[in-house]
Amino acid sequence: MAKQKNVQARRVTRKKRKLRKGVLVTLIIAGLALLSVVGYGSYLYVKANNAVTGSFEDDGREKSDLRDFEVDPNIDNVSVLIIGVDENDHRDNAETSRSDTLMLATFNRDEKSVKLVSIPRDTLLYVPEVGREDKITHAHAYGGPKATIETVENLMNIPVDYYVRVNFHAFVDVVDAIGGVDVDVPYEFQESDSMDKRDSIHLYPGKQTLDGEEALAFARTRKLDNDIERGKRQMEVVNAVANKATSLGSVFRFDDLIAAVGNNMNTNMTFNEMMTFITFGTGGLDIENFTLEGSDYQPGSTYYWLLDEFALEETRAILQNHLEISNSLAEEEGVTNEAEGYQEGEETYSEEEGSYEEQGETYQEAPAQEDPYQEETDEYNSDGSPY
């Protein structure tokens, strides 16, 4: 009888030991997994720090001229200008690139919301850098991000606190890094790729997942509509990228994402400031999209987008309220829509004939007098509409 009890006791002991051994193995695996996550997070942090630090570009401003103080994105409502330039290795145009995409975003911390305004590239407005009217796309060619910021501040009467400038390659690499974006292609079209290979991207209508090159073509084309519709597509892509990049499923793609951005981006944000925007986006973003309304305007051989002043004032008021600043601030700083001595609708420069080639085609244009940058005349459909 005693012998039987001893055998049962040994069996219970073995069972307890096996149980303890199983718990120990589970704890070790969990600990290793935690260390791996922490290690990967630390690795990403260091890599992101190096990438952003390498991308930092001093724009010569401690703050916007429309601010009384330096802003802190941890506590203040701030704005960011997204500048997508038409720069690539094939064009070799880093010093004279135009802004192919311009989006102004305002961030309200209490509301956890973003107002995103697309500014059409062909918008006709006053460019302070050259002291006359021109397309806003040319501002970057005249004076880089600083000239573009000054032009946008003059247009919108709100401070531009930060900017992020990316090129074609950054756009393609970022979309690829997050596994593509889901969009609704409105119609069939062919478009050049990031290296200007004509009609190399062919898309069909319908909802689909696009890779980087396809997403760039989707965002750039305007062959069958106009600059306003293109702006809406660009915002659709930006929203899709933002939502996917901040999702949990993309966490192990951050390595590629950081590399893509770091190699093809310039910004006046420090690493800590950029991390603030990332934490701002966790849990999802409430993004409201706007476009600047207007109408086609073609006084000569060049096409422009002429803004509707009433709609522009409404958009200005929305952004000012979102930043919780008053319109009087901009007025006190002397920012107006017209430069001293400038009259709306009056052309202040002479024209002379010229021609040059870009992407294998010859264009004719009348460049502005002493204009350091010349752009091809826009192409037109058979009905005369630009694309």
Single-letter amino acid code for the residue at 200? S
Taking 50 as the pLDDT cut, the residues of the chain under it are 34-41, 43-44, 248, 328-330, 334-387
Q: What is the pLDDT of residue 331?
A: 52
Instruction: At 359, list the tokens.
Output: 């992407």
Instruction: Look at the chain and report how many structural domains it folds into.
Output: 1
Query: Residue holding tokens 């934490």?
Result: 279
Residue 6: Cβ-neighbour burial (10 angstroms; 0-12, 13-18, 19+): exposed
Residue 96 lies in a domain: yes
Instruction: At 102, list the tokens.
Output: 């311009």
Residue 358 lies in a domain: no
Among 19, 34, 16, 44, CA closest to 258: 44
Q: Which residues of 245-261 are buried (b: 16+ CB within 10 A; e: fewer)?
A: bbeeebeebbebbbbbb
Do residues 302 and 378 lie in contact, with contact meaning Cβ atoms separated by under 8 Å?
Answer: yes
Residue 76 lies in a domain: yes
DSSP of 157-185, one letter per residue?
-S---EEEEE-HHHHHHHHHHTT-EEEEE
Residue 183 CA to residue 213 CA, distance in Å, equals 14
Residue 263 CA to residue 212 CA, distance in Å, equals 16
Instruction: At 318, list the tokens.
Output: 């929305």
Residue 382 lies in a domain: no
Residue 341 CA to residue 117 CA, distance in Å, equals 29
Residue 12 lies in a domain: no
* pTM tops 0.85, yes or no: no
Pairing of strands 181-185, 304-307: unpaired
Q: What is the pLDDT of residue 12?
A: 53
CATH number for the domain harbouring residue 314: 3.40.630.190
Residue 356 lies in a domain: no
Residue 105 lies in a domain: yes
Residue 106: Cβ-neighbour burial (10 angstroms; 0-12, 13-18, 19+): buried
Domain that holds residue 290: 53-350
Q: Go through the chain and tell me how many residues it has.
A: 387
Residue 297 lies in a domain: yes
